[in-house]
Structure 1
Amino acid sequence: MPKPTDAHKKLEKLIGSWSGQEKLHPSPWDPKGGTARGRVTNRSALDGFVVVQDYEQERNGVINFCGHGVFGWNAAQQCYTLHWFDSMGMPPNEFRGSFKNDVLTMTSQDPQGHSRATFDFSKENQYSFRMEVSQDGKQWHTFMEGKYSQKM
């Protein structure tokens, strides 16, 4: 029976229930920006080969955005992957990337442009997240930032 590799096991940093404050920068989707509360639940699945994520964003006491992701390791291409689905109703995104120490950076491109997601696990029981967007893949603008603590 196949077993997860060290690369698969690196994704275990994601596992757990997390919550935290988020800052949304002004954008075409949210011209004013603002703050939100994010809740993330990540669990190991398929015998440790993937991590499944469920995400909710709450603003003014209302869940206004939900997402579902599947993180994995693509051994053939030597990269981490994230298949992302959300309540915006757009086609799913596929992110690819790598770890540098405790920071996972992943990028995606779709008809709307480029996206870059950064997960920083350098602090124990915490992580920070940043989502950036770009029309050309060169000039990046921060769309959202979050700091999350693990629920014990």
Structure 2
Amino acid sequence: MLITELMAPLLGDWQGTEQQAASPWALASGARAALRFKHEAGGSVVVQDYRQVRDDAMEFYGHGVFLAQGEEVWWWFFDSYGEPPVPAVGGWVDGELALVKTTVRGTAVHRFRPTWDRLDYRITLGAPDQGEVAPFLAGTYSRVSGH
């Protein structure tokens, strides 16, 4: 299946608010965020632009690249922290795109749940030395424009 077909529910521009838990990288905070998902390279990939402005005025930027391998979705996310991206892998189940990424810092599960006019995005984290998974980010966004 083409990535543009798999990612069609996400395509477009979104804006909303987020709540982020404390982490080794930042204190807990609310934030405003904007996301854009669009197809590129003749429809062979979907790219994502992300900008977060936290309540303390700190900014975080990211650029994602999604690729389909059959029904499986691969996602590389480059961000303003500058670490080399490790791919997250997953797929769509019951209207939700779930992607799992494991690094030396632990396992992150990213869940995108779009409807026509709303996008819910959740990240849970599990530390490598702990079996517990904890909520890290909860965002709710409204569609600004479709694709």
TM over 0.5, shorter chain: yes
**CA 1:85–1:7 in structure 2 vs 1: closer, same or farther (change >3 Å)?**
closer
- Structure 1 Cα separation of the partners of residues 135 and 22 of structure 2: 9
Offset at 1:62?
3.8
The one-letter code sitting in structure 2 at the alignment partner of 1:49 is: S
Match of 1:141 among 97, 110, 134: 134
**CA 1:49–1:6 in structure 2 vs 1: closer, same or farther (change >3 Å)?**
closer
CA RMSD of aligned residues (A): 1.8
The one-letter code sitting in structure 1 at the alignment partner of 2:125 is: V
TM-score (norm 1): 0.86
Partner residue, 2:117 = 125
Aligned residues of 1:21 and 1:37 also touching (Cα < 8 A): yes
Partner residue, 2:68 = 73
- Structure 2 Cα separation of the partners of residues 114 and 60 of structure 1: 26
Partner residue, 1:36 = 31
- Structure 1 Cα separation of the partners of residues 43 and 67 of structure 2: 9
Count matched residues. 144
- Structure 2 Cα separation of the partners of residues 25 and 140 of structure 1: 13
Offset at 1:8?
4.4
Q: Percent identity?
A: 28
Q: What SS class does the counterpart of residue 21 from structure 1 fall into?
A: strand
